[in-house]
Structure 1
Amino acid sequence: MNEQHKHSAVTIASNRMTGVYAASMLLLGAGLLSGCGPKNAAPAGPPPAMPVTVVEVQPTDVPVTGEWVGTLDGYVNAQIQPQASGFLVKQNYKEGSLVTKGQVLFEIDHRPFQAALDQAKGQLEQAKGQVLQAQAQLGLAQINVKRDTPLAQARAIAQSQLDNDIQTQAQTEAAVASARASVVAAEAAVENAKLNMGFTYVRSLITGVAGQATTQVGNLVNTQSVLTSVSQLDPIKAYFSISDAEYLALTHRTRGEGGDLLKAAAQVPLTLTLANGEDFAQKGHIAFVDRQMNSQTGAIRIAATFPNPGNILRPGQFGRIKAATEVRHGGLLIPQIAVTEFQGLHQIYIAGTDNKVHVATVDLGPQIGTSWLVEKGIAPDSLVIVDNLQKLREGAPVSPQRAPAAAPTATTANPAGR
């Protein structure tokens, strides 16, 4: 047992010496290799210029377009109410269909009104008979006066008899006038009865689309009842509100008409974008401008009209209304991808004439398509870098490659950061 223990100890010691020897040889080899190299290594050269794509900013006329949410409404909305009271006996139109001016939509029980009309006609005939009777009495009185006048002058009859004849003639003349007045009143009563009879036929006063009936046949209605509504949809109105600044910009565009948006409506064509994202084929124009600005919202209400063939658009729909509010002459456009935001500031990288990167802080105006309109912070003819932005820093060398300049498009204008 002692011999085996000694043999194991010798083996372990031998392995340790072998490991130490191997480590020493590695260190010696590394020293020899390091001694064989040059004593002073050459310093690294400057980094190569980074290739970047640049867009040359050129002044151009930029149409700035405003966009607002609009609500559609009928050009004319008429509530259909009867002018007579009675039981509703018939509905003559199909709900949701197009009706024309003067078309009968409902009928009210006309029998009481027919009876009133017949009574008025009878009273008219009676008044006419009274006129004939009074005229006959007047003729007799005139004959008596004509006969007794020479007799009284010849003292063949008493003067008092002639006086009675003259008085009778005057009374019959008054009776004739009264009877004729009764005829006029009776004729008016007949016309009124005819009107009331006509009111039992409830008609549409405009051409448009009729809505759902709010009263069913068999109900008792009066002049306060609303039977349905009819809306004129061609053209159709769209109501929207614009800010004070946008209103002033629009009036500035129409300064040739004294700033009157109604007189110069053709100069401000409007585009309606529907809920499905498509632009409505018909262009609109301003038809109404409110008399005052809303002091709470700082906006003014405007109504536009759009031709609506086929009544495609309906009241209550929403859409986005666009119009060119102004044209910026000499505006500078830069691509959106060239703008970075740092601590609330908008920055861009510019390739200078020295082919080095320079950081510029810019104030952005409206968004025009895929570009920003720059208010200040950049000069015309600047070369704006549009790629490799994460690798750039102030003063870094670059190799600019030109790209086509951004073209202005008449699209929605949104303030920067909104």
Structure 2
Amino acid sequence: MIQSRMLVACPVFAILALLLVGCGRHRELPKTGPPPVTVAPAIKRQVVDFDEYTGHVEAISSVDVYAKVSGYLEEVAFQDGAMVKEGDLLFLIDKRTYQAEYDQAVSQRNLYQAREKLTKTTLARNEKLVGKGAVSQEAYDESVAQADEATAQVQAAESDIAAKKVNLDYCTISSPIAGRIDRTYVTKGNLIQSGVGNPTLLTTIVSVDPVYVYFDVDELALLGYIEQHVAQTDGRPDGSLKERKIPVEVSLADGTVYPHRGMIDFGSNQLDAATGTLTVRAIIPNPDGVLRPGLFTRIKVASGAPYDAVLVPQRAIGANQSNRFVYVLDESGNAVQKPVTLGTKQGPLQVVKTGLKEGEQVIINGTLLVRPGKPVKADHSTMPEPPPVEKDLLRSEDQEKPSADETKAETEDKPKES
């Protein structure tokens, strides 16, 4: 019994000993100074906002090649998938039957011409004799009718020859447009059917240069474009999109930027009520044939004219439950939190619409250790530069607009009138 009480008391004494030792040694936390941060003055630069859309490529001209006469396919005169020119020979249908019909029509015309010559000679003779009473008036009238009938037969024969010639020419099938041809759907020796019932599709051809790119603009973006256009034109009537000459940039599925700029040339006259979008078309040069019909692309369009904006790095922007903010240094070297309204991204930078002025010292690195109203150890640096304004993606009237800094400099340099 005594031994069990001693076993219970031993842990208690051990805990008391540890507590006494802990109370005897008080460890102080090391004092830390202001957190190190990097600051840089906010910059103002000329920028342009862009909208991006998903588009797809379509050929300007697309032709399904059918035969206009029936017959057996005698020759395929192209390589599958090759480029063809307008007028190049594609297919040759056995023309012997049509050649015989044409020759028969020519012979029939020759026969009618011989008859016409005879009737006209008879008419000329009767015309001289009818006045002398050697030929009756009835005989003369009959010769006139026979001559007119022979002339009509010759004209009908000429028309028949033209029709037979058309059928004969249809045996030779040439390319109606220049472009890239598909494979042949029918091989040599097969019977080709024509007509409206069940004609035989031989192949297809699509034009290559230039091409169309179709994309859909959402309703909110469209309203913004309309408001901007009305403001720039002082409410003048809106013309076609082609007249406005809006350039576009095309990016491929792998992210590469297509080297040739396009131009918007068409917009649908009404929105799709189901999707709330407007179909817009751009025409793109395609000299190398890189853009194939059906290809998906990304379309980049300037949403407005260039403007001057305050810019800061994206990593300098913080967020809480209510708004976005940046930290700036006050005159005492303390970090001050300033709410901001953000605009578009410009490379590594972000446009700040409101809440920040050019030249304010913004904390661009080390914001996680910053506390509002507390001092910081600042290391001064400079802001990175935004991407340059792509002038070739602006309309001609927007390219000529100077920035606010240029306008200010011109105003300061202009001598004041006395």
Q: Same fold (TM over 0.5)?
A: yes
Which residue of structure 1 aligns with residue 121 of structure 2?
Answer: 136
TM-aligned CA deviation for residue 90 of structure 1: 1.7
Letter in 1 for 2:372: E
How far does residue 394 in structure 1 lie from its aligned partner after superposition?
Answer: 1.4
Query: 1:127 maps to which residue?
Result: 112
Instruction: Tell me the equivalent position of 1:279.
Output: 257
Corresponding residue for 1:14?
Answer: none
User: Residue 51 of structure 2 contacts residue 303 of structure 2 at CA under 8 Å; is this kept in 1?
Assistant: yes
Q: Which moved more, 1:201-210 or 1:232-241?
A: 232-241
Are residues 1:296 and 2:274 paired? yes
**2:207 aligns with one of 194, 216, 232:** 232
**Residue 54 and residue 297 in structure 1: after superposition, are their counterparts in 2 closer, same or farther (change >3 A)?**
farther
- Structure 1 position 186 matched with structure 2 position 157: yes
| CA offsets 1:322-359 (integer angstroms, 9 cap, x no match) | 22222352322221101223336433222223322222
| 8 Å Cα contact 1:236/1:313 also seen in 2 | yes
RMSD: 3.2
1:69 partner letter: T
- How far the C-alpha of 1:128 sits from its partner, in A, is 0.8
State the partner residue of 1:219: 191
Closer, same or farther in 2 for the Cα pair 1:409/1:294, shift >3 Å? Answer: farther
CA contact (8 A) 1:244 1:300 kept: yes
- TM score, norm. by length of structure 2: 0.77
CA distance in 2, matches of 1:240, 1:212: 29
Shift of 1:47: 6.6
Matches within 5 A, 1:137-286: 137-148=122-133, 165-217=136-188, 218-223=190-195, 224-247=199-222, 252=228, 255=232, 260-265=240-245, 268-286=246-264
Letter in 1 for 2:320: F
Cα drift, residue 300 of structure 1? 1.6
Q: Secondary structure at the match of 1:234?
A: coil
The question of 1:67 aligning with 2:47 is answered no
d(CA) in 1 for partners of 2:56, 2:74: 37
- Written as runs of structure 1 = structure 2, the 5 A alignment for 1:364-379 is 364-379=342-357
Q: Structure 1 residues 278 and 411 mapped into 2: Cα distance closer, same or farther (>3 Å)? A: farther
When structure 1 is superposed on structure 2, of 375-384 and 203-212 the one drifting more is 375-384
- The aligned amino acid for 1:178 is E
TM value normalised by structure 1: 0.77
Query: 1:216 and 1:334 mapped to 2: Cα distance?
Result: 66
CA distance in 2, matches of 1:310, 1:336: 39
- 2:285 is the alignment partner of 1:307: yes
**Which deviates more from structure 2 when the two are superposed, residues 126-135 or residues 338-347?**
338-347
Structure 1: how far apart are the matches of 2:99 and 2:122? 35
Question: Distance in 2 between the 1:342 and 1:107 partners?
Answer: 75
Farther-moved stretch of structure 1 (330-339 vs 185-194): 330-339
Shift, 1:291, TM fit: 1.9
Instruction: Report how far residue 248 of structure 1 moved.
Output: 5.0
Q: Which has the larger radius of gyration?
A: 1
2:146 alignment partner AA: A
Which of 82, 90, 104 lines up with 2:75 in the alignment? Answer: 90
Whole-Å separation in 2 of the counterparts to 1:241 and 1:362: 32
Amino acid corresponding to residue 219 of structure 1 in structure 2? L
Identity of aligned residues (%): 25
Provide the C-alpha distance between the structure 2 equivalents of 1:259 and 1:145, rounded to a whole number of angstroms: 75
Cα 1:249–1:117 change in 2 (3 A) is same
Is the CA contact (8 Å cut-off) linking 1:64 and 1:410 kept in structure 2?
no
* 8 Å CA contact 1:51, 1:398 repeated in 2: yes
Q: 1:351 to 1:119 in 2, by over 3 A?
A: same
Deviation per CA, 1:50-105, whole angstroms, max 9, x where unpaired?
A: 33222322343211122222212222111111111222222111111011111111
| Contact 2:348–2:386 (Cα < 8 Å) also in 1 | no
Q: Following TM superposition, by how much is the alpha carbon of 1:221 offset from its aligned partner in structure 2, in angstroms?
A: 2.3
Mean Cα deviation higher: 184-193 or 336-345 = 336-345
Residue 39 of structure 1 is matched in structure 2 by none
Runs of 5+ in structure 2 lacking a partner?
1-12, 391-418
One-letter amino acid of the structure 1 residue matched with residue 156 of structure 2: A
Native 8 Å contact 2:192 2:200 kept in 1: no
Secondary structure of the corresponding residue to residue 146 of structure 1: coil
Q: Which amino acid aligns with 2:202?
A: L
Paired positions, count: 363
CA distance in 2, matches of 1:363, 1:298: 28
Q: Does the alignment pair 1:327 with 2:305?
A: yes
Q: In structure 1, what residue type is equivalent to 2:303? A: T
